[in-house]
Amino acid sequence: MLICMRCGEKKNSHWFPEHITTWCCWCNRCKRTPSGMMPLPQCEQDRRAEK
C-alpha cells in the first residue's frame, strides 16, 4: 500500500506509476489532474496493469 502525497489516499501500488520516487509519490489520478484543481475522479485508466 502507498499513500499519495497529493490526495492523501492510501491505496494499492497499481494505482501509482511503475517508477515512483519517495519525494514525489503521486497516484496516476493526481498526476493527470492539472495543478490547482481538485483531483479528478479515479477511473479505470489510472489502474496500472499488473504483469
Residues of this chain that bind Zn ion (CB under 5 A)? 4, 6-7, 27, 30
* Least distance in angstroms from the C-beta of 16 to Zn ion: 8
* Least distance in angstroms from the C-beta of 50 to Zn ion: 19
Q: State how far the Cα of 44 lies from the Cα of 15, in Å rounded to an integer.
A: 9
Q: State how far the Cα of 11 lies from the Cα of 3, in Å rounded to an integer.
A: 6
Output 7 or 20, the one with its CB closest to Zn ion: 7
Q: What are the residues whose beta carbons fall under 8 Å from the beta carbon of 17, sequence distance 6 or more?
A: 26, 28, 31, 48
* Least distance in angstroms from the C-beta of 3 to Zn ion: 9
